[in-house]
Amino acid sequence: MYRRWRPMNDATTLRIALELDPRDWTLTLRVNSALCGQERLGPIALPFSAADLSIIERALDLNDDSGLKRAFAVPDLERLHAWGLLLRPTVEHAGAPLSGQSIRRDRLRDQVRTWLAGLLLDPLAQQLNQHFAVQRERTGGQRPLLYLRLEGWPADLPLWRLPWELLHRHRLAQGDIQVGRYILYGNAPGLPPPASGLRLLVLHSDPADAALPRLHLKDRERIDEGLQGTPGASRIQVQTLAPASLTAFQEALRADPARPTIVHFAGHGDFGWRCGRCGRISVAPDDRPCGDPDCGFERHGPPAGLLAFTDPRTGAADWVGIDGVCEALGLARDLRLVVLSACQSATARGGTDVFNGIAQRLMDLVPAVIATPYPLESGAAEEFARCLYRALGEGLSLVECLHQVRLLMAERFPDEWYRPVLYLRASQGDGGRLLDLPARADRVPGHDTHPVVAAPDPRREALARALAQLVPQYQAALSQSVTTSDAVAAVQAGQRAEEIERTMAQLRQKIDRLAGRAA
């Protein structure tokens, strides 16, 4: 089922820093690779306006579910018609929200993919051909792999709103494109040391709220299915909190702050304003969802991401904003990954900074976040969970895990396979060592998942200490390579980071060999 992945290295990786000029709506690319060196391309005019981007986002929200609808003004409908995306004339849609059955969704994805390729792949045709030629020569004619490491600053909000993951199925690379999103910002916290086992906390929140459809969550079941039989399953311990209230979540972390390594939230998410008085949320500036004229629903600041925890007293939705989520997660001292299987958990619309979304704000606390900027149907969310943890159990890096998820979901879920998005800190690599889970074939299929506790080995402990000492050196070199304005210094720092990474890989191999002998 899973391909044997070739490692991401100098022959497969293009580091592309994206810079948006909002004054003239143009994009500049700063390309950096070992094969092609450094190059600056642009400015490149975006093929759509800021208003068009809002229309595109709402149209991409739609799927085969006729119950999911989005509102479009008449000028928006005319724009969709001009793009050839409406199934019926504009006049028939005026005044009524659209469902996914009203638009040509395949054509929409193809159009957006073409636009993104025109911004990214077409200007880099020479570099891509060079990378592909080198790969074919080195691998004996194997199909080339291209890893797009997209880097950008938080303030470049429109760039983060684009579904770059659609390039995965672009004709140029026939599916062998991996996309990682790396956020550039200073003073990123350090990475925790490598872990020999992972502790996964699954939060199931399916409140009995008249304003929300019931989800009947099965993420934990699908996670167990995905892990079953994988080499790394014996080192992943899974715990479930259901129904997940914010208070129960905080109490679980206070009771044992050493866990979890991964938090997986399954439930409702949205993007808007939460009323501090009535607790309800509004997704429109003029909406009063509580219907109480005495409430007033006062709004403060820009809209933000919200997660629906379960109120332990009433069982209804308890909408928690980013500050509350961060306060709870701040109790976990070994957290490496947060998975938000909730609609619009990565959305950052309507504000001036991408960090008003949940996923991006969490990166102040955790080095990797997986979230969804578009709605995810329950069946797609469950399949996403199964495929993701299957890949993690196989020992793949996070970028490779997300690529495998897209490969496996593409045919069955054509509207949603690209929607899970991975965010990483630009200064801390591709996520390959965040969840350091070397493959071991010591698990019997069907057994419960428990971490393997090995007897202390002085040699392994010495290697682990040496490895831990290299981590901050690697982070510092990698950070310098993406933040310095000196081109020569950037190349030198990048080379130094690669040397350190090779040394770290050698140490890990020695640790794994000793672990295998001990087993």
What are the phi and psi torsion angles at 387 (to 5°)? Answer: -70, -40
Cα separation, 56 vs 33, in Å, equals 32
pLDDT of residue 387: 92
Quote helix, strand, coil % in the chain, to nearest 5.
40, 20, 45
pLDDT of residue 350: 41
pLDDT of residue 224: 92
Would you give per-residue pLDDT tens digits along the chain (519 residues)?
444 444 444 456 778 888 888 888 899 988 887 777 788 888 999 998 888 988 998 898 888 776 778 888 888 888 998 999 988 766 565 667 888 888 899 999 989 989 998 898 888 888 777 777 777 777 776 667 777 888 887 777 778 888 898 887 665 554 467 788 888 766 666 666 666 678 899 999 888 877 777 778 888 899 999 999 888 888 888 988 888 899 888 888 888 766 788 999 988 877 777 776 666 776 665 555 555 666 655 665 667 778 889 888 888 888 888 888 888 888 887 888 899 887 644 444 443 333 345 666 777 788 888 888 787 788 888 899 999 999 988 888 888 888 888 888 888 888 889 888 888 887 666 555 667 654 433 333 333 333 333 344 577 667 766 766 776 676 567 656 655 667 677 778 777 877 877 787 677 667 656 655 544
pLDDT of residue 485: 66
Cα separation, 307 vs 323, in Å, equals 11
pLDDT of residue 388: 93
Q: Is the peptide bond before 207 cis (omega within 30 degrees of 0)?
A: no
57, 272, 277 from 73: Cα distances, Å: 14, 20, 31
Burial label, 411 (beta-carbon count in 10 A; 0-12, 13-18, 19+) = exposed
pLDDT of residue 107: 92
Q: Which of 212, 377, 421 is nearest to 309 (CA)?
A: 212
- Contacts of 287 by beta carbon, 8 Å cutoff, 6+ apart: 297
Q: Which of 504, 491, 488, 482 is nearest to 150 (CA)?
A: 482
pLDDT of residue 270: 76
pLDDT of residue 353: 39
pLDDT of residue 443: 33
60, 120, 170 from 175: Cα distances, Å: 21, 16, 6
H-type helices in 441-486, by residue range? 458-483
